[in-house]
Chains A and B, each alone.
Chain A
Amino acid sequence: MTDTSLALDPAEMPSARRLPGDLAIWVFILAEMLAFAVFFASYAFARSKDVEMFNFYQQTLDRNAGAFNTLLLVTGSWFVVLAVQAAHRDDSRAAARRIGLGFLCGAGFLTVKVFEYAAKFGAGISLSTNTFYMFYISLTFFHFMHVILGMVILAILWVKTRQGAYGSRDAHGLESGAAYWHMVDLLWIVLFPLVYVMR
């Protein structure tokens, strides 16, 4: 009996509605998401002024790389939510291992993106080539920086988790960092279809 109730995530218990992580991280996440919302809308409205040009240059993007990167971020996010679940069970070893796997998914994302950028820059494409590439480069690079920040956070969480900093009594720090990592995933889930696929 006791075991079952301990294994339950506090969030899943009735009448115990709680926000995972710290309030401050959620305020920060919302601010970041607001910035991206403005960016996404700017892209969509800029496109409406020159649909043919946007559609033409969109075909030069590497959709396979974009889709593969979505799989990497989704899987990275999955590893990190499993890390949080392991921490709630006081299994720091499993939690740390999963954070490490999440970090590797992020590294995979950056690698694919670097090759993608190299191909584009190698073809002489830059921010000033046209409006489409201006948006493509700035939007994806802005997101790229967020993946890097997310990975820095995961690296810190990995070290702290290995030290046993998070457990069933308190995993706030881990939950906060995890929430940020999921935001990076969430943003790419909108960015990929918007910039690479929708036409």
Chain B
Amino acid sequence: MDSSSDHSTAQKLYGVIPAIELNSWESEELLDCLTELSDSQQDFLLHQISVIWPVSHSLCLAFLEAVRPALSCLDKEQFATWVRGILDRYESQGLQEARRFMHDLDNHFICTLKGQTGLLLSTIKNRLSLYLRGVAGRPFDLETAPLPGTDTTSIFLPRNSTLFGNVDANFLVYKLLASLQWAFIRGNLYCHEVDDEEALFAKLGRPMPSEPCSAIFLTRFFDSFAKPETAKAIYHFLQSFRALAFLQKRLPGLMRDSQIYFRTIAAELSVNLHQNELLSAEYAFILKHLCHNLPLELPSGPGWHECRPSAWWQDRDLIFVDTNRIYATSKDSSDRPLAQPPYFLGSFLVDKAHARRLSRRKEVEQQFIEALSIRILPALSKKDAKSPQESPTAERPQQPDSGANLTIRLPEPPDDQDKIEPIHDRVVRHIRLDDQKIDLDHKLQELGREIMDDLGNLPQLYIDSAAQMAAGRSYEPNMNTPEQEGTALKGALLYDEWDFRRQGFRHDWCHLLEKNIHPSGGTFISSALSEHRGVIKQLKRQFEQMRSHHRFVGRQRDGDDIDLDALTEALADRQAGLPPSERLFVRQLRDQRDIAALFLVDMSSSTEGWVGKAIKESLLVMAEAMESLGDRYAIYGFSGMRRTRSEVFRVKEMEEPYNETVQGRIAALGPKDYTRMGPPIRHFSKILAKVEARIRLLIILTDGKPEDYDDYKGEYAIEDTRHALIEAKNAGIHPFCITIDHKAQDYISHLFGEVNYLFIDDVKKLPRRMPDMYRILTS
């Protein structure tokens, strides 16, 4: 390479990445990589670098290390897809995962192109979780793991399903695996405790394990055998049998469809199974039934034929008795190695399920205490005489009343006519605090039931903690803290952002906070109202005329009343020998405006001064006029800095009345930071889409281009905003833009479309033009 071409390459590179951002070794590395390529390849690669560099510098350098093989074997389209894949992985799983993805081009990418990766869980997660929710009647989290399994809250499934060449069959595999895990949960796979453990061990003729032993019943049970792993495998086999038989009964269609899967598995298994291994014949036996969709049977060996699987549902000790017996009969051969269970049965995660149960217990405890403390707070605050520190105590009703002032009332025995499952009568319905009965709401009842199911009782500690928490709360100066500027109303919401360079979303990229704005006093409102008095009066009259009104239409075929004029005419006609009209009625018609509008106001720092004042005045005039129209409307401001702090400020909610507070908030609108338009547009599209109205308007008031402190500027910002607006339109919302910018023409019609904007060159006209625009827009 001669130095002149080196030089031009460097020029190109600095056109993409400012030289100032690069240290010397980075720029050397980049240049080394580029100079070896042809011009067109250089340009192409530089474009990709421009996409990756702003996301992460180290990712970009790692990308260049790995780029050579990809450049040689992928065409441009594929290459762009590959880069998208890298960015997705970087954003979802971090640099390490992105590196792995880049370096293992063959496994991670080429095979996708050839259609060999099968079906990714992430692509069908939504559908599968809806399916599972319907089938199971409750939601589960779907997570990826090498082997299928469950901890009773989450269901683990492989990251992709590659067995078959087509999507439907691979989806079927997921469906089967997920349904089977649900069936395991239904079959109480991780039986946490039995009614009477001592009696069970006695029945089995095994000694109770001595100290120290595991906190988990199942582990204690397995450990009581000489070969715990064998006992575990037998138990898991029986549970698998039960779950599969349950599925055959409950979801016959699934099991019939799955024959194709079982046959493929069986073919593989016949190679891998060794007759010598323990349980291998049994696995093959049930698999044979599954392949032909025959009702499942247990193998007919010694020990097996005494099993009564159908009775397992009634007596939960029985499956342990059967495990014990099968273990005993296969004792002579227990030196044989254990067979690997077929893949679809998954892994048996005793410890994980236990850990999950404990963490859930903590969660429920927290939620219960929190909710209960809020619940008993009003009652507590009524008794001022008592010291709030004095903690009320809880009593179970079956215990003698010891004069405690807080009792938990368990439900009375259920009515005879309603057959209630035993689980239902563990509902805690109310709590007694002194003489006041405090009903527990639905959520507390649910939590209470979960605790009772788990622990068998409601621990005293929970109620004490709740009472203490409530006592602490009642000392707080004011429960309804006054509105303060900057108080976030709820946690940050995550929104995607559109990256035009990769033609894809950056998922959950922006954090949006909804905040209060503290109304300000001052003279702004009164002076603005008096200044625009004339306009407001005129607008009010105009808007009044647009209101919905009743009107009578005469000469109808039917209606509420007789149209006397028409009748007279008809009678006259008849007298005259003419055919009389049949349109003799008056009918009342009602024209209804069904419009919801949301005004979104730019609060970026550039609105300081005249522009900001004009915007505020326009909002005020607009609000005044809207009051006489009766349309529902909301006003919000937006600003923010960087993707992690997009903020929207609530001036007026949709159903909130227009009053002095709202006026004060309009007055308090002030310049803040930058104009990142995407997140607020996505946020309010979501809100507006839920408003029931014939027409939903999103009116954006801005003074310039979308722009943020970070790389959200130029084409990137415009394309993201444009995409957000397209999303809004797809949600049935009409976006409209009012812009105060001298250089607006070049991008604004690209953003909003030819007719969906109003361009105002003189800011003083805004208070007049804005209501005008609204009138035209909605009539």
Q: Do A and B come from one complex?
A: no
Binding site for B on A (CB under 8 A): none
